[in-house]
């Protein structure tokens, strides 16, 4: 089973958004081993860095970045996944979300950016991305 890491903004995201992402991850667990980030409460800042980068980004087979909200942490994870590690990366954003041009301008063979209408669309988009890798 492929290991999947789903990254997203936490610090400036709404509780509703974060709960929606957790629901998406639960749905993805039907087809993938989903690696979990530490979040906003567990551990120290150093623990979060070590875990999220070295246990999630480095060990995943596919990185999914939900880019709806600005996040320096997610940007760091994306740069590590795309540029440093060459991980297959799917960046996603809601159709109404304003996304920085750097994310839209990435041109790597293992990177794709897609828009979605509802968080419930994400599992289908992730499965389609994963199927292209096989």
| Structure token pair of residue 63 | 């990185």
pLDDT, tens only, 91-120: 999 999 999 999 999 999 999 999 999 999
Q: What CATH number has the domain bearing residue 125?
A: 3.40.50.450
Burial class (CB in 10 A: 0-12, 13-18, 19+), 70: middle
> Half-sphere exposure of 18 toward its Cβ, with a 13 Å CA cutoff?
11
pLDDT per position as a tens digit, 1-30: 999 999 999 888 999 999 999 999 999 999
Distances (CA, A) of 67 to 7, 24, 90: 8, 14, 10
> What is residue 40's predicted lDDT score, i.e. its pLDDT?
57
Confidence at residue 112, expressed as pLDDT on a 0 to 100 scale: 97
Tell me, what's the pLDDT at 62?
Answer: 98
Q: State pTM to two decimals.
A: 0.94
CA-closest candidate to residue 72, choices 22, 12, 4, 116:
12
Domain around 116:
3-133
pLDDT at 63: 98
Q: What tens digit of pLDDT does each residue of 51-85 get?
A: 999 999 999 999 999 999 999 999 999 999 999 99
User: Cβ of 11: how many Cβ atoms within 10 Å?
Assistant: 11
Number of domains observed in the structure of the chain? 1
Cα–Cα distance measured from residue 8 to residue 63, given in angstroms and rounded to the nearest whole number: 11
**Would the pLDDT of 41 be above 70?**
no
């Amino acid at each position: 089973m492929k290991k999947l890491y789903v990254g997203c903004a936490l610090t400036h995201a709404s509780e509703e958004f974060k709960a929606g992402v957790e629901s998406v991850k639960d749905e993805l667990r039907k087809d993938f081993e989903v690696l979990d980030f530490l979040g906003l409460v567990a551990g120290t800042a150093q623990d979060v860095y070590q875990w999220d980068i070295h246990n999630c980004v480095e060990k995943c087979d596919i990185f999914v970045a939900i880019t709806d909200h600005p996040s320096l942490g997610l940007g760091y994870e994306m740069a590590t996944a795309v540029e440093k590690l060459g991980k297959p990366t799917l960046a996603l954003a809601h159709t109404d979300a304003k996304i920085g041009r750097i994310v839209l301008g990435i041109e790597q063979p293992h990177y794709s950016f897609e828009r979605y209408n509802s968080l419930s669309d994400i599992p289908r988009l992730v499965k389609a991305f994963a199927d292209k890798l096989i």
